[in-house]
Amino acid sequence: MNFFLIVLGYVFMGASVKYVDQVRDARVFDPRWGWLLVLFSGVLMAFFMYSDVWSATILVALIAGNFVAGKIDALEFKTMVAVALLLPITASLLFDTAYFTQTLDWFVFSALALAGLLDEKANDLSDKKKLHHLVHFFFHHRVFTPLVLVWFVVLSILPFMYLLAFLGFDLAYTMVEKSSTCAGNRSLE
């Protein structure tokens, strides 16, 4: 799959996920745009999952880790996940292909799902407890998943472009979080 399409798609998905999260939590963005982003991101995830084995492995693992962590709790996120999972499964059934389910790399999937779960639980801990600043930074910025991805790239299991795509996802996620914090502070003044 095209490098730029994957990286830009992951950037868009990362920004969209945080935008929707901030609509719910910080109430600084327009919820109507949130629903549009939910639907478009769900379709984009579905497209990547159906057409690209590594994206399927990464995205389904992230969904699984977040699901187990209890982070897929809002209607918007449930809708995004439903769209993202049901479209490729339906397409596989309609076109008699088992691509989506049989080609996942289950080792990479398991490691990334566990890393995603650890990231979410550690992030929750960093929000609630006084931790040493280095531990707080590590937990707050959800570094388990990127470290696992780096390891898979170093071992030549995962192509480098997926690490870049995921880092783009994370960067966009963080940028939307920072911009919403600024917007929230301005609305309080």
Q: What is the 3-state secondary structure (H, E, C) of 124-153?
A: HHHHHCCCCHHHHHHHHCCCHHHHHHHHHH
Chunked mean pLDDT (size 10), the chain, 189 residues: 93 95 85 92 95 93 96 93 93 73 84 95 82 79 93 96 97 92 55
- What confidence score (pLDDT) does residue 188 get? 40
- What confidence score (pLDDT) does residue 186 get? 52
d(CA 119, CA 143): 7
Query: Is 55 within a domain?
Result: yes
- What confidence score (pLDDT) does residue 124 get? 87
- What confidence score (pLDDT) does residue 12 get? 97
| CB 87 within 8 Å of CB 43 | yes
Task: Please give the tally of structural domains in the chain.
Answer: 1
Query: Is 138 within a domain?
Result: no
Query: Is 45 within a domain?
Result: yes
Query: Is 32 within a domain?
Result: yes
Q: Is 23 helix (H, G, I), strand (E, B) or coil?
A: helix
Query: Is 43 within a domain?
Result: yes
Query: Is 119 within a domain?
Result: no
Terminal-to-terminal C-alpha distance of the chain: 47
- Domain with 25 in it: 3-104+160-188
